[in-house]
């Protein structure tokens, strides 16, 4: 299994437990969705999966080995795109935002530049490279954060509410990236309230509620179960339930 989280417990200082034995797994060539109500712990779960938070109890395994024993090098293999791009973007230009992680990996500035130009062309943001991020729209920021992750070619893509507050054109671009990960024998985990997006992209779905995960079954099974949809506070167009 490429990435597995087993029996994860976590709480922030002075607060109640956010996660109470949560589980999730994703393998190569697979897209997994994580759904649940606001405040159910989806973002925290993704941050633990990315190695940015350490659980109180439980195991996070990358290629069946403890993730914590593979850090910080393993962060090159896992890319997390935050829900709010403003929490992720901190460089003065789009070019430098795309270059930041690459400069930690590649010593050659010409190689960094080559990759940036290639990724910028892929996402149609070449015209934005010299622009300061504060002058970008929300959709442009979303694409820039996604491009900054894709630039260093991770094995696992973690997306936190990727379709929130963006246009249908941006959503189609994100779908394309997710499909490319699947076809490239990589993996993605998507935390989302967008039932249509999940139905169209994911192979399996986990529901998280009250700190516990259920499901992990194929998307058609989960998205046609009214009890689980209610638990997840998720609405799915009936036409999307049986794809």
- The full 3-state SS of 145-211, as one line of letters, equals HHHHHHCCCCCEEEEECCCCCCCHHHHHHHHHHHHHHHHCCCEEEEECCCHHHHHHHCCEEEEEECC
What pLDDT sits at residue 239?
Answer: 59
Within 8 A by CB and 6+ apart from 194, the residues are: 161, 163, 164
Return the biggest CA–CA distance within the chain. 54
Within 8 A by CB and 6+ apart from 112, the residues are: 99, 102, 103, 106
Mean pLDDT for the stretch of residues 168-189: 96
What pLDDT sits at residue 235?
Answer: 80
Predicted confidence (pLDDT) per residue in 70-117, tens digit: 999 999 999 999 999 999 999 999 999 999 999 999 889 999 999 999
- Percent of the chain past pLDDT 70, that is, above it, reads 98
Instruction: Number of helices (H) and strands (E) in the chain: give both, helices first.
Output: 8, 10
DSSP codes, 81-101: E-SSGGGT--SSSHHHHHHHH
**Residue 59, SS3 per DSSP:** strand
What pLDDT sits at residue 225?
Answer: 92
Run of H or E residues at 46: helix 42-49
- Percent of the chain past pLDDT 90, that is, above it, reads 90
Burial of 69 (0-12, 13-18, 19+ CB in 10 A): exposed
Taking the C-alpha atoms of residue 218 and residue 216, their distance in angstroms, rounded to an integer, is 7
203-to-15, 60, 162, 221 alpha-carbon distances in Å? 34, 21, 17, 10
Strands 17-26 and 3-11 turn out to be: antiparallel
Q: Is the pLDDT of residue 242 over 70?
A: no
Closest alpha carbon to 186 in 6, 5, 32, 23: 32
Model confidence at 240, pLDDT cuts 50, 70, 90, reads low
Closest alpha carbon to 156 in 32, 9, 34: 32
């Amino acid at each position: 299994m490429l990435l597995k989280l087993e029996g994860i417990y976590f709480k922030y200082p002075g607060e109640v437990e956010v996660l109470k034995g949560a589980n999730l797994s994703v393998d190569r060539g697979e897209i997994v969705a994580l759904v649940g109500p606001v405040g159910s712990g989806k973002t925290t779960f993704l941050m633990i999966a990315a190695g940015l938070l350490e659980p109180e109890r439980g195991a996070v395994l990358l290629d069946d080995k403890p993730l914590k024993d593979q850090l910080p090098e393993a962060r090159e293999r896992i890319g997390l795109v935050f829900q709010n791009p403003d929490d992720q973007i901190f460089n003065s230009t789009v070019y430098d935002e795309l270059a930041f992680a690459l400069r930690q990996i590649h010593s050659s500035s010409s190689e960094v530049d080559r990759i940036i130009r290639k990724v910028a062309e892929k996402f149609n943001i070449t015209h934005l490279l010299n622009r300061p991020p504060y002058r970008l729209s929300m959709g442009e920021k979303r694409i820039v954060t996604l491009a900054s992750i894709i630039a260093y070619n991770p094995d696992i893509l973690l997306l936190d509410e990727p379709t929130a507050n963006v246009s249908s054109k941006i959503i189609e671009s994100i779908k394309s990236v997710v499909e490319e990960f699947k076809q490239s024998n990589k993996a993605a985990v998507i935390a989302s309230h967008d039932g249509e997006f999940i139905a169209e992209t994911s192979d399996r779905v986990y529901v998280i509620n009250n700190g516990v995960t259920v499901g992990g079954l194929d998307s058609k099974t989960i998205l046609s179960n009214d009890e689980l949809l209610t638990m997840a506070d998720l609405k799915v167009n009936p036409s999307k339930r049986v794809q």
